[in-house]
Amino acid sequence: MISKLEEKKGKIVRIDGEVQQIQQTSGPTIFIINDESGTTEIAAFDKAGERSYPEIELDDAVQVIGEVNEHSGKTQIESSSMTKLSEENTIKLHKLIDDALNKKAEPQHVDFLVKSDVLNRLKPKMREAAQKIRRAILDGRTILLRHHNDADGICSGVAMEKAIIPLIEKANPSNDAQYYYFKRSPSKAPFYELEDVVKDLSFALEDQERHGQKLPLIVLLDNGSTEEDIVALMQAKIYDIEVVVIDHHSPGELLTKDERDGEIYGATVAVDEYVDTHVNPYLVGGDSQLTAGALATEVAHLINPNVKDLIKHLPAVAALGDRAECGEVYQYLQIASEKGFTKEHLAKIAECVDFEAYFLRFMNGRGIMDTILAVDNLDKHEKMINALYKEYQKRIDTQLKAALPNIKRTQLENGIYFNLIDVEKYAHKFTFPAPGKTCGFVHDHVIKELGEDKPIVTLGHGPDFGVFRATDAVNEEFGFNVNDIVSKMIERVPSAGIDGGGHECAGSIKYIEGLGEEVLFKVVEEIQSLTKK
């Protein structure tokens, strides 16, 4: 057994195992194999830079005979022979390994950080997601983690990263295993774009060919639930890549429903055809107020309970970043306060995450985000927040000075306060805050003037896009929903190439520039046609 190799240094051993990875170096060929007890490296050498045992391929069941020694601080076997097992023995070994890894991958039974009926109903799916991620680590598959590039998405990604990397380092003999077996990348859009999946597939197929790595497990955080994700997910499934989604965006119409005692315990939606495990509060009767940051942190806690104290404040940051309000949010804020974080400081952290994410763009910014989120470099956290927050406020003030005098305000006949701002003409371009954020800050300013209880809708637009922000009062009193408006605009202006969506009270719409005025006119008409429930 591989787990006993430490005791066999200097001795000749025989190991039966499954080939996880094949790496060709300038010297020996390195085979990474696993059995039911663990993983080790096999060094095989014929000629420098020449592939040893070319007949051996990924996932083959093999028998290795060789001497146990140590290389770069890790136990390794220098092989004298490597042969494929017979078909009968291969089946037995695969079953033995499969059963052992399934047992190891089963997450521990730990309590959620907060009390929540929605989380309780989601628990089977959350445990399934944790099991798939743990199993991928044991299988030697790369975890390819994609998340939305905002405070909620980044909190989701960092929580997962802190849980997964220690397990990868424990499971793999390589000193730089985390760089081979884990990748975290932000996505600009709140859905899995074609641009993202093309990059992910290209790198995955290249890693398979060049480094002998298995195809990855894709984990989508704070995206992956909507119909906009389907085209990208279809491409991933062509290569039989396993996909786990942890999201809180509305997935659209429920196709099937398991309803008991007035509560939804499970549902399926359109995207489920292309996803292996889907964690979303909407599927159990919840809504977007339970953020992806909270869901991902809870799943991370299931994956690796040892990181609980390190990441338990992240759901509070995510909630403030996404302006979520629900019973779970107040509990997460209490947990963070017990860790020494005030609500004001957590809000600053969320704002600094968004600010820094704008400049990082497509980089994950691991070290910087760790400092901002207070999961590492704790001695630098306060200085970083103070420096970033000062600049953050300065840039917002500059943007609002340009935008606020140019808001077109009106109260529609149905009582909704409607605000229109051309963020292309009356805001600074190519700097923070971006158009979506600018619209949000304008909306916040109007709320301060009129009050949170008023039905207020703000639409920031450019030549080919619009960004919506609305108060909860509009949703509750009039049934305002960004996704419904986008769907109706697709029907009403079919030639405008419309798409978009988001949360009920915050989202975006895209359209052809030449039909922009018509689309905006019909959007205003649609909002004006809303009636009180």
Q: How far, in whole angstroms, is CA 283 from its chain's centroid?
A: 18
Does 365 have pLDDT greater than 70?
yes
Average pLDDT, the chain: 93
| DSSP of 63-120 | EEEEEEEEETTEEEEEEEEEEEPPHHHHHHHHHHHHHHHHHHHSPP----SS--HHHH
- pLDDT number for residue 420: 96
Domains of the chain, start order: 2-103 (2.40.50.140), 112-310 (3.90.1640.30), 407-528 (3.10.310.40)
Does 176 have pLDDT greater than 80?
no
Q: Amino acid letter at 45?
A: F
What is the tens place of the pLDDT at every residue in 182-241?
999 999 888 899 999 999 999 999 888 877 788 999 999 999 999 889 999 999 999 999
Of all residues in the chain, the percent with pLDDT exceeding 90 is 78
Confidence bin at 86 (pLDDT 50/70/90)? very high
Does 173 have pLDDT greater than 70?
no
pTM score of the predicted model: 0.89
Return all residues near 277 (Cβ < 8 A) that are at least 6 apart.
125, 128, 129, 132, 243, 244, 245
| Under 8 Å between Cβ of 105 and 302 | no
Mean pLDDT of 88-107: 92
Does 447 have pLDDT greater than 80?
yes
Strand-pairing partners, residue 507, are 468, 502
Q: Which of 19-33, 130-144, 206-220 has the highest mean pLDDT?
A: 130-144
Return all residues near 492 (Cβ < 8 A) that are at least 6 apart.
522, 526
